[in-house]
Amino acid sequence: MKKILITGSSGLLGNAIKLLENNYNNYEFIYINSKICNLIDYTQTLNFFNNIKPDIVIHLAACVGGLFKNISEKVKMFEENIIINTNVIKASSECNVKRLIACLSTCVFPDDLNIKSLDETMLHNGPPHPSNEGYAYAKRMLEVHCRLYSENFLDRKYFCIIPTNIYGPFDNFNLEDGHVIPSLIHKCYIAKNELTEFEVKGSGKPLRHFIYSKDIAKLIFLLLEKEDFNENIILSPNEEYSIEYVANLINNHFNNKIVFNSKYSDGQFRKTTNNNKLNNLLNFKFTDLKDGIEETIQWFIENYDTLRK
């Protein structure tokens, strides 16, 4: 039985994997978070990996936040992610881990509106959007680090998944630091309880792909089954939705009056991704956005007192 070590286990994707663990009895699952192992400390990281001796690492740990955290804390987003990623990749190789899947984000792509769709070859073809450059450049270096290990050590299969905007249960629903869907769910919930308007920052016009966290967990295990696969891959549904459409989907559950406040930045207008590699590799049916948002809202309401907010 192979041991899988999952970093960032208390986060959105780590918990999504936990929900599916019973479907994969051929693996022994080991989860770590910052309370168990401080990945910013290399000695502690290496000692932990040596004690566990994993066969596979799924690297999900990161210093993350929404648009406004990315803008206001660029240095922290860059430095902490560079250190965490370096320590995990290096410790994995030192402990002879043969397979590693690391998680990137579509924010790593260049901010070039002339590109009709982004594919895996374009990660370094120009600077990212200034609003998230600290986080984006750190994630780009994670891709470089994985690729260099795979090139220098032929028995290492280290590659990156590039999911689009992730949402689902166990997300961070903080109004300022959370990503768009969880933040909007929380804001809409408060507006309902306080009988106020549901204010959405920005015009609502930017377009995004959204992927349910459980879908990513399923895709990770499908990729692990393809033992020779060792390439960066975008994980994205075909459909692209505006923030306005998403806000209205959320508000269908709460029935507030919506106001779009255009004095706030929209960030990058669109990040259309090309998922041809995924579609050619796997025949996968994604969770419908409406269904995924409704499941997430139900989980949010049921766990409001204890969730991250």
Catalytic residues: 135
Contact 271, 229 (CB under 8 A): no
Look-up of token digits 């990161």: 62
Look-up of token digits 């692209």: 240
Cα angle for residues 219, 79, 309 (degrees, 5° grid): 60
Using the CB atoms, write b or e for 36-68: b if 16+ within 10 Å: ebbbbebeebbebbeebebbbbbbbbbbbbbbb
Phi and psi at 242, nearest 5°, equal -80, 155
CB atoms within 10 A of CB 123: 23
Contact 198, 249 (CB under 8 A): no
Instruction: Decide the pairing of beta strands 207-208 and 241-242.
Output: antiparallel
Residues in CB range of 41: below 8 A, 6 or more apart? 87
Which helix (DSSP H) or strand (DSSP E) does residue 302 occupy? helix 289-302
